[in-house]
Amino acid sequence: DAGVIQSPRHEVTEMGQEVTLRCKPISGHDYLFWYRQTMMRGLELLIYFNNNVPIDDSGMPEDRFSAKMPNASFSTLKIQPSEPRDSAVYFCASSSTTGRGSINEQFFGPGTRLTVL
Amino acid sequence: KQEVTQIPAALSVPEGENLVLNCSFTDSAIYNLQWFRQDPGKGLTSLLLIQSSQREQTSGRLNASLDKSSGRSTLYIAASQPGDSATYLCAVGNDYKLSFGAGTTVTVRA
């Protein structure tokens, strides 16, 4: 398996532009997570999906952020309009359930480094 | 809200020395605990996962222990090598979500 795939790996954009980050989870995993990592705040969970359904989006910072998972093999995180404070590394991760009320290891993608000028 | 603390924030040791990395958490009602490694500018690599019913997990030179009652986990790395230099992150699982510590940055000197 290729692992979790994210694109693009680097994105530089200007304030006010729309940004779309993409993720392909590991095949067979039914949980998908979006995280953001900054020096100031560390790793923060933004939103997660189970079987393509958003379960908890309490970490999404503002209405400018939205995420979708149209099918089991694809998810997007969109920022519109982008602002300089959105500059960070965005990670996607996937996992499967143990069947006993918890999840197995989370596997992370390589991340997308976003710079908003 | 789960709070995860890792001490120390940074550690420098000579090659061959054993490493001890500490993680503490405030809410003991956890599902599992996961240790990750992150190299500069890279993603996270899963090292070990301990389910709440387990006391420890081992993989090669790595051993992680879990004491839920005291809210602590320790990652031991035996006979450290320069290639072990990285940031190590502890993540505690509650209700399908992971809460991360800030990490311990390890430097192993050759």
Residue pLDDT, tens place only, A7-24: 999 999 999 999 999 999
Closest to B36 in 3D by CA, of A29, A115, A60, A111 = A111
pLDDT at B11: 94
Average pLDDT, chain A: 93
User: How many whole angstroms separate alpha carbon B94 and alpha carbon A83?
Assistant: 31
The answer to whether the beta carbons of residues B48 and B34 sit under 8 Å apart is yes
Distances (CA, A) of B26 to A60, A74, B40, B56, B87: 23, 35, 28, 19, 22
> A16: number of CA atoms within 13 Å, CB side?
0
Q: Is A70 exposed, middle or buried (0-12, 13-18, 19+ CB in 10 A)?
A: exposed
- Nearest neighbour of B49 by CB, restricted to A50, A101, A105: A105
Is A50–B96 a contact, with Cβ atoms under 8 angstroms apart?
Answer: yes
Tell me whether B34 touches chain A (CB under 8 Å): yes
Say if residue A85's pLDDT is above 80: yes
User: How many whole angstroms separate alpha carbon B87 and alpha carbon B107?
Assistant: 9
pLDDT at A1: 64
* Average pLDDT for B86-91: 97
Residue-wise pLDDT tens digits, A38-68: 999 999 999 999 999 999 999 998 899 999 9
User: How many whole angstroms separate alpha carbon A70 and alpha carbon A47?
Assistant: 15
Residues of B with CB below 8 A from A106's CB?
34, 46, 91, 98
pLDDT at B97: 85
Say if residue A30's pLDDT is above 80: yes
Residue-wise pLDDT tens digits, B49-77: 998 889 999 999 999 999 999 999 999 99
